[in-house]
Amino acid sequence: MTATSGDTPLPSLADAPWLGRHATQAVLSAIESGGYAARVVGGAVRNELIGAPVKDIDVATTAEPREVMRLVEHAGLKAVPTGIEHGTVTVITDHTPLEVTTLRRDIETFGRHARVTFTTDWVEDARRRDFTINAFYCDRTGAVHDPLGGYPDLLARVVRFIGDPHDRIREDYLRILRFFRFTAEYARGAPDAAGLEASVELAAGLSGLSAERIRAEMLRLLAAPRAVDVVDVMEGAGLASRVLGIAETGTLRRLTAIEAALAREPDALLRLAALAAARPGRTLELREKLRLSSAEYERLARMALPDKAFDPEAPEREAKAFIYRHGSETFRDGMLLAWTNSSAPTDDARWRERLSLPERWTAPALPVRGADVMEAGLAAGPAVGRVMRTFEDWWIAEDFPTEHLRLAYALSRFVKANRD
């Protein structure tokens, strides 16, 4: 029998590679061997149904967490009680972690601190999820279950709240950001009107969210194909600047156009820098607002720092010096942001040419070591480091010469100057 969603037949996912994988089958059969039902849920099923790439696999089951632990361990799999009071057990098979969560019903919801009870009712579990496109389940054989009839929305690419958007947002204000994030990732056309209206009306609730939760959704949103259009709509009601402090949607639009002209993949942090006006003095604030990691913060701070190398009219050796000192990635970041903030066309040949310098040129290694300095006549000590640094500055300014005699002559000059 073919399953349907209303009148629309649901395809079978029997051929989905992640379903056939040993790790998935082992977990589903281990739980089913105890007489329970277990199904893959959420993003994996949704994405497979529209042919989008599938990242992680989540499983929903009628078995309670301790039963899940017992059954999977009995089947020889490793189980970790990662969130047992919320119903989640992580099972590790073939080095792949897979989250197994018991079907739940919300009793009370305060953002992430929802009080839940377990249930064996798939419809109840589906109702506490956020959007109709996020409530599909798929069993071990590939049969898709759609208890709330979300499949037509998925086919029409509509991101619609399950139930009343106002109620659902009041339960968890993060759903405002998730609404825009999933719209940017999956929707066609304008955001769903009811969802948009409720999001705008309840926007004040965003202030109570933790930086970590905001961060996760905002970075996903920014990396999405339709980010710029969705952020425009958000900022039409002041929502993006409410979250980020500043939101320059025109700058994001320009960066997106440059990325498109270069056929570059979207980069969330770069887009954040453009949108949120990452400039010296602003980056610390962004770090706080989104609890950025040190690496992310450093990347953002670095790209926001103006540099004379980020100019296609500057001599090429300025760009090479920058690449030598800070690396190709940092160079690309800075160039893209400077291009975005310039008035040059988004398909400007000079910017494009300069930006591609790291593809044509690799920074050489410094051709002198401490031992060479001592061989040139300097005793071990702090002066060796000083000579090395002077030599390096000279070598970079001279555009990385390689002739042995020239290098030896320069070195002996610096050694002499340091001895006198």
Least distance (Å) between residue 104 CB and ligand ATP: 10
Please identify which residue in the block is written with the tokens 């790209």: 303
For ligand ATP, the closer CB: 48 or 172? 172
* Binds ligand ATP by CB under 6 A, chosen from 61, 62, 93, 134: 134
Residue 235 touching ligand ATP (CB under 6 A): no
Is the alpha carbon torsion for 112, 213, 120, 92 positive or negative? negative
Which secondary structure element, helix H or strand E, spans residue 83, and what is its range? strand 78-83
Token pair, residue 331, equals: 């160079």
For ligand ATP, the closer CB: 224 or 338? 224
Rg (CA), the chain: 28
How many residues bind ligand ATP, per CB under 6 A? 12
**Spatial distance between the Cα atoms of 409 and 417, rounded to a whole number of angstroms:** 12
Residue 43 touching ligand ATP (CB under 6 A): yes
- Closest by CA to 127, choosing from 166, 162, 86, is 162
Please identify which residue in the block is written with the tokens 């989905």: 16
For Mg ion, the closer CB: 134 or 283? 134
Q: Which does 235 bind (CB under 5 to 8 A by kind): Mg ion, ligand ATP, none?
A: none
Least distance (Å) between residue 366 CB and ligand ATP: 44
Which string of DSSP letters, residue by residue, matches 229-270?
HHHHHHHHTTHHHHHHS---HHHHHHHHHHHHHHTPPP-HHH
Q: Which does 174 bind (CB under 5 to 8 A by kind): Mg ion, ligand ATP, none?
A: ligand ATP
Token pair, residue 73, equals: 């361990």
Residue nearest to ligand ATP (CB): 43
**Spatial distance between the Cα atoms of 157 and 224, rounded to a whole number of angstroms:** 15
Residue 172 touching ligand ATP (CB under 6 A): yes
Q: Which does 130 bind (CB under 5 to 8 A by kind): Mg ion, ligand ATP, none?
A: ligand ATP
Q: Which does 354 bind (CB under 5 to 8 A by kind): Mg ion, ligand ATP, none?
A: none
Neighbouring-strand partners of residue 145: 137
Residue 42 touching ligand ATP (CB under 6 A): yes
Binding residues for Mg ion restricted to 26-55, rule: CB under 5 A = 43
* Binds ligand ATP by CB under 6 A, chosen from 130, 259, 296, 318: 130
Torsion from C-alpha of 108, 113, 117, 121, nearest 10 degrees: 90
Q: φ and ψ at 222, to 5 degrees?
A: -65, -30
Give the burial class of 183: count Cβ atoms within 10 A of its Cβ; 0-12 exposed, 13-18 middle, 19 or more buried: buried
For ligand ATP, the closer CB: 211 or 366? 211
* Spatial contact of 98 and 27, defined as CB atoms under 8 Å apart: yes
For Mg ion, the closer CB: 186 or 339? 186
For ligand ATP, the closer CB: 47 or 93? 47
Residue 191 touching Mg ion (CB under 5 A): no
* Binds ligand ATP by CB under 6 A, chosen from 140, 160, 175, 282: 175
- Contact range with ligand ATP by CB under 6 A, out of 80-88, 168-176, 228-236, 261-269: 168-176
Residues making contact with Mg ion (CB under 5 A): 43
Which residues are at the interface with ligand ATP (CB under 6 A)? Answer: 42-43, 55, 58, 129-130, 134-135, 172, 174-175, 178
